Amino acid sequence: MTISQGDTLPDATLVQLGADGPAPVKMSDKVKGRKVVIFAVPGAFTPTCHSAHVPSFVRTKDQFDAKGVDEIICVSCNDPFVMKAWGEATGASEAGITMLADAQSEFTKALGMDFDAAPAGLVARSKRYAMLVEDGKVTLFQPEEGPGVCDVSGGEALLANM
């Protein structure tokens, strides 16, 4: 079953690459008592993710801050080394966006947002979406209907509905 607006966000452990190497990050710790934006992409460095989705949140980071968002988190079913490199390449890390790896697709599967596109080399990946989570509850959920587009899940689109 796919997560919906009004649902409690499932807990999962993701991974972030820090100064001391890969470190586990419990999603429940990230959202408890906080206002957090989470957006997910099918893959780091893939065309739409790299040229449209992440840049939309880099461009709008200050506007989310002004609306009281405590953190913006990008989730992808890649490893933490790739996520760190991607955050650096896109300017997301410098902008203050948290790049989390869902390497085993645990979080993505719990949301019901997993898919496979084996011919494109994408297996156990996340569908594209953006959500606003307040104290663990999904208050706004904007999944993309089709692949290769970033219309309703981009930073500007999420801001417009907040």
CATH domain 13-160 topology: Glutaredoxin (3.40.30)
* 8 A C-beta contact, residue 139 and residue 133: yes
**Per-residue model confidence (pLDDT) at position 77:** 95
The C-alpha atoms of residue 101 and residue 107 are separated, in whole angstroms, by 10
Q: Active site includes 150?
A: no
Return the DSSP state at 68.
T
Q: Which of 49, 74, 77, 150 is catalytic?
A: 49
pTM of the model: 0.95
Mean pLDDT, all residues of the chain: 94
Mean pLDDT (whole number) for 3-22: 96
Q: Binning pLDDT at 50, 70 and 90, where does residue 118 land?
A: low
For the chain, which residues make up each domain, given as ranges?
13-160
* 8 A C-beta contact, residue 35 and residue 134: yes
- Token pair, residue 110, equals 């719990």
pLDDT at residue 146 is higher than 90: no
Mean pLDDT (whole number) for 98-104: 96
**Per-residue model confidence (pLDDT) at position 117:** 74
